[in-house]
Amino acid sequence: MTQERLPSFFDNAPTITVQDALANFLGAAENGILTYRYADAVRLCGHSCPTVAGAYLMVVKGLKALYGAELPQRGDIEAFMQGERDEGTTGVTASVVQLLTGAAPETGFGGVGPAGRFARRHLLSFGAGKINGTLALRRRDTGKTVAVSLNAALQPFAPQMRDIMPKAVSGSASADELKQFGELWQERVRAFLIDQADNPEFVTVKEI
């Protein structure tokens, strides 16, 4: 039987525990308590990269700023993406935002019953250029809103990547070079999630 084998540093990345009223209502999780880990974002996106790691870290930091010691209420959060849905890596980031917050675009869950209870549709929007951040999160109960940004330049790739990446991208890299490429790629991801996780200049969160 083939087993899943993920980099060991995934287990040391920050986690976020939330409460989801829909999960509680449908009996999917006791009291609706769900804990998300970086590996969940990797499984969702199908890969681990600086964009996925950065998005994950931004949402974790944003939710903690919004709720403090309280459990974030998944499904009761609005999310705003600065970029358009087809712009750069905005769609990848939005996928991670939806995973952790429950906020969905027009394709999301429409709700239960005539009143549309627990609806997630239209809670995630794009092209919010005035939020002064990569993304913004808003509590629907209090209206408290935070804008979150990531300064990825503080954690660049290792210098060796300059020679290896062009070969890997073009398909001309050897097996050993591809192995080193993957190791260097995940080393930057590790640095995002472990070394820079608590650096307030790496992920900035501002109430707006």
- How far apart are the C-alpha atoms of 83 and 119, rounded to whole Å? 24
> Which tens digit of pLDDT belongs to each residue from 102-153?
999 999 999 999 999 999 999 999 999 889 999 999 999 999 999 999 999 9
Q: For the beta carbon of residue 183, count every other beta carbon within 10 angstroms.
A: 13
Q: Which residues pair with 79 in a beta bridge?
A: 124, 137
> Which tens digit of pLDDT belongs to each residue from 16-25?
999 999 999 9
> Does residue 2 have a pLDDT over 90?
no
Give this prediction's pTM.
Answer: 0.96
Confidence of residue 49 (pLDDT cuts 50, 70, 90): very high
> Does residue 1 have a pLDDT over 80?
no
> Which tens digit of pLDDT belongs to each residue from 154-174?
999 999 999 999 999 999 999
Confidence of residue 10 (pLDDT cuts 50, 70, 90): very high
Mean residue pLDDT across the chain:
97
- pLDDT value of residue 90: 97
- pLDDT value of residue 130: 87
- pLDDT value of residue 151: 97
CA 89, 95, 97, 100 torsion-angle sign: negative
> Does residue 52 have a pLDDT over 90?
yes
Q: What percentage of residues in the chain have a pLDDT greater than 90? A: 98
- pLDDT value of residue 17: 98
The residue type of 85 is R
- pLDDT value of residue 100: 98
